[in-house]
Amino acid sequence: MATSVALVEGSHMTIHEPGWYPDPSNPSIQRYFNGTEWTDLPAPPPMAAGSSNAVPSSQAPSQIVGGDSRTVLCWAVVAGGALLSIGTLFAWMTASAGIISVSRNAFQMGAHESVTADGPIVLILGLIILGIGITRLTNTSMPRIVQRSPIIAGLGAAVVLGYDYHSIQQWAQSINSTYSLASVGPGFWVCCVGDGLAILAGIALRRAAKQAS
């Protein structure tokens, strides 16, 4: 079986197996090499000398950092992506007049409840964020630009949500002027919460990676 190889700058060390090694850009700290490329994982926690619980440097990072803040942030990305996706299926705007009520989800934002691109775009961005969160939790190899995509995808979703919020408010005002009651639906707020959670968690993960380097 072929093995991946990485050379550490300024030394003759050749890495064949996944594990913790001196960071190529800063040998004073350690970074995890997953067998293909360097990851953003911080150095493993120090263990007391002679401790029977010491973790080998070649042990998978998921067994070392399973309960740290990075894992929590990855789960926050997963939750944000899930909320953003699920929210598109529920009402983004609601209106009622007496016993009659109507609602529209993210896929019915056009005139006369016609389908628009808003719902599919937000749904796809939510699934992308969800997928990135899962891959980071499982420490799957991927380019660093993809690791930071929760921020990019989240900002893209925020643009769509901001535009639709303005449209919903205009629609609600026109409905309210006819003695009916209209408002922003719960699905829209679910999307906003999920999007904000994904962006904040993505930013925190990026800061943690910079501090580790």
- Domain assignment of residue 125, yes or no: yes
Q: Are residues 121 and 183 in the same domain?
A: yes
Question: Which tens digit of pLDDT belongs to each residue from 194-208?
Answer: 999 999 999 988 887
What pLDDT sits at residue 112? 57
| Spans of the chain, pLDDT less than 50 | 1-5, 8-12, 48-59, 61-67
Kindly report the pTM of this predicted structure.
0.64
- Domain assignment of residue 190, yes or no: yes
- Domain assignment of residue 53, yes or no: no
CA gap 111, 16 in Å, rounded: 59
- Domain assignment of residue 91, yes or no: yes
What pLDDT sits at residue 1? 38
Indicate the number of domains in the chain: 2
Q: Are residues 83 and 153 in the same domain?
A: yes
CA gap 173, 176 in Å, rounded: 5
Q: Are residues 94 and 148 in the same domain?
A: yes
Q: Are residues 86 and 179 in the same domain?
A: yes
What pLDDT sits at residue 43? 62
CA gap 21, 212 in Å, rounded: 13
Start-to-end CA distance of the chain, whole Å, equals: 32
What pLDDT sits at residue 34? 75
What pLDDT sits at residue 122? 94
Q: Are residues 85 and 11 in the same domain?
A: no
Q: Are residues 32 and 94 in the same domain?
A: no
- Domain assignment of residue 134, yes or no: yes
- Domain assignment of residue 62, yes or no: no
Question: Which tens digit of pLDDT belongs to each residue from 27-58?
Answer: 777 777 777 777 776 566 555 444 444 444 44
User: For residue 107, what is the domain's CATH number?
Assistant: 1.20.140.150
Domain that holds residue 88: 69-212
